[in-house]
């Protein structure tokens, strides 16, 4: 059920954002409803059920995240390292600034609800596909399959590294960014592409020359 009043749904999501941000990822559904000034049944009525509320929050925040990152990684005519640095830096800043919401969606909601886990996986996969499309369109030497492999690999790498960094705030943000940039630049270097293609070829079999029997002429 999508709800009959989009403005009311938006206000309920705003209230959910506020209480999750202030109370943390383990906030109860009753607390979210109370912050919105409604009962739990009324809250669920606008989203179908708890999973529907989770999905609406995930869609909202992944859409915002994508809107802020897309211009950075898709900006044409700029240096690869600079674009990767700007994109990764923006991502780390966003998840750090919205830590409770990030943990609510990626950990709490995904852990307790298979539907939202599948939904979040689909959203993250969409980012990988989009990045793979950008790589294939911009780098003529990169075939579409390799572009998709790298697009998904980069998104997964940045997400899991960002998750680790949030648990280790003593690690300098710029050090994390530069480490990820180095991996991305190496994977996209022409030498890396040639090595990958070469490794896919079957090497010609080598002929083994039998040893001469003792005493035979060489």
Summarised one tens digit per residue, pLDDT across range 55-114 is 999 999 988 988 998 888 877 667 889 999 999 999 999 999 999 999 998 888 888 888
Domain 50-192: CATH superfamily is Tetracycline Repressor, domain 2 (1.10.357.10)
Residue 4 has pLDDT above 70, yes or no: no
Percent of the chain at pLDDT above 90?
53
Q: What share of the chain is helix, strand, coil (3-state, %, to 5)?
A: 75, 0, 25
pLDDT of residue 110: 82
- Classify domain 1-48 at the CATH topology level: Arc Repressor Mutant, subunit A (1.10.10)
> CA 43 to CA 29: how far, in whole Å?
9
Q: Locate CATH 1.10.357.10 in the chain.
A: 50-192
Cβ contacts of 65-70, under 8 Å, gap ≥ 24: 65/91, 65/94, 66/127, 66/130, 68/94, 70/130
- Asked if 16 and 60 count as a contact pair (C-beta separation under 8 A), the reply is no
Rounded to two decimals, the pTM is: 0.80
C-alpha count within 13 angstroms, C-beta hemisphere, residue 61: 27
* Confidence label for 166 from pLDDT (cuts 50, 70 and 90): very high
pLDDT of residue 202: 45
First to last CA, the chain: 87
* Confidence label for 32 from pLDDT (cuts 50, 70 and 90): very high
In this prediction, residues 197-202 reach a mean pLDDT of: 50
Tokens for 172?
A: 């300098």
């Amino acid at each position: 059920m999508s709800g009959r009043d989009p403005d009311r749904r938006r206000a309920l999501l705003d209230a959910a954002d506020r209480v999750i941000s202030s109370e943390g990822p383990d906030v109860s559904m009753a607390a979210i409803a109370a912050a919105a000034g409604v009962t739990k049944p009324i809250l669920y009525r606008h989203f179908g059920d708890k999973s529907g509320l989770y999905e609406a929050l995930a869609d909202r925040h992944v859409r915002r995240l994508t809107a802020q990152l897309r211009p950075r990684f898709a900006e044409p005519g700029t240096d690869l390292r600079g674009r990767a640095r700007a994109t990764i830096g923006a991502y780390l800043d966003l998840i750090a600034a919205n830590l409770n919401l990030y943990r609510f969606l990626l950990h709490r909601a995904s852990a307790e609800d298979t539907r939202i886990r599948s939904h979040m996986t689909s959203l993250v996969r969409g980012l990988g596909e989009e990045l793979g499309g950008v790589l294939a369109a911009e780098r003529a030497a990169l075939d579409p399959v390799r572009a998709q492999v790298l697009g998904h690999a980069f998104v997964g790498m940045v997400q899991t590294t960002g998750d680790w960094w949030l648990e280790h705030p003593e690690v300098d943000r710029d050090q994390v960014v530069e480490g990820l940039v180095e991996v991305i630049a190496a994977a996209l270097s022409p030498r890396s592409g040639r090595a990958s293609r070469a490794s896919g070829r079957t090497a010609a079999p080598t002929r083994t020359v039998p040893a001469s029997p003792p005493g035979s002429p060489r």
